[in-house]
Amino acid sequence: MKINFAPATIFFKLVQIFTLRFSHLHIFKSSNLQIFKSLNLQIFKSSNLQIFKSSNLQIFKSSNLQIFKSSNLQIFKSSNLQIFKSSNLQIFKSSNLQIFKSSNLQILKSSHLQIFKSSNLHIFISSYLQIIKSSNLQIFKSSNLQIFKSSNLQIFKSSNLQIFKSSNLQIFKSSNLQIFKSSNLQIFKSSNLQIFKSSNLQVFKLSLTPAGLC
């Protein structure tokens, strides 16, 4: 499956998304939130896919940025949406990619809500996973997977898709919710919400076989 991305268009869309201004939502403002700073956190460090590597943050600028083009990384291609089922797609398996391991970044650490704890980790493996299949929000519905390519896919702009815009939807605005605002970045540190509480915090360290997740 060959997908042609216009780097300038993608970059423009990303700028639009990340420049949404909220009076109380200072995301990634904390001095301690140095995510993706580790020398070992080389995500998708292909010679052609150097994301977040440039000192100037030149995202999706390379003319060689062919995302999801590999024959082994056929995400969202199956008619049943079998995400992360390929035997070659071992994401987050590297011993050096210990994301969210910092003692200050205790994300969703609850004892009662142990999501993704199943030994089989069947994530999104349903045969009919119709993600956000609203008549007004037909994202990823095209058979050609034309992400951010259609002139009509105005994300965060459509009058029908007013995400984070409604006066009644004040997400992350509560004075008690202060997400990404704490100096220690203690996100959702509820005593009852321990998601991803693996002893080694090896998120998505799947044992994959050619037949799929097992």
Judging by DSSP bridges, how do beta strands 212-213 and 208-209 pair with one another? antiparallel
Looking at residue 178, its pLDDT comes to 40
Token pair listed for 37 = 């700073």
Looking at residue 15, its pLDDT comes to 58
Q: Give dist(CA 35, CA 187) in Å, integer.
A: 14
Average pLDDT, 10 consecutive residues per value, the chain (214 residues): 57 59 42 40 39 39 40 39 39 38 38 38 38 38 39 40 39 39 39 39 42 43
Widest CA span of the chain, in angstroms? 48
**Taking the complete model, does pTM exceed 0.75, yes or no?**
no
Residue pLDDT, tens place only, 86-125 = 333 444 433 333 343 333 343 343 333 334 433 333 433 3
Secondary structure tally for the chain: helices H, strands E: 1, 2
- Report the domain count for the chain: 1
Question: Are 12 and 60 within 8 A, CB to CB?
Answer: no
Q: Give dist(CA 185, CA 101) in Å, integer.
A: 12
Count of CB atoms situated within 10 Å of the CB of 194: 20
Q: Give dist(CA 86, CA 75) in Å, integer.
A: 9
Token pair listed for 135 = 């008549």
Residue pLDDT, tens place only, 180-195 = 333 334 444 443 344 4
- Domain ranges, residue 118: 1-214
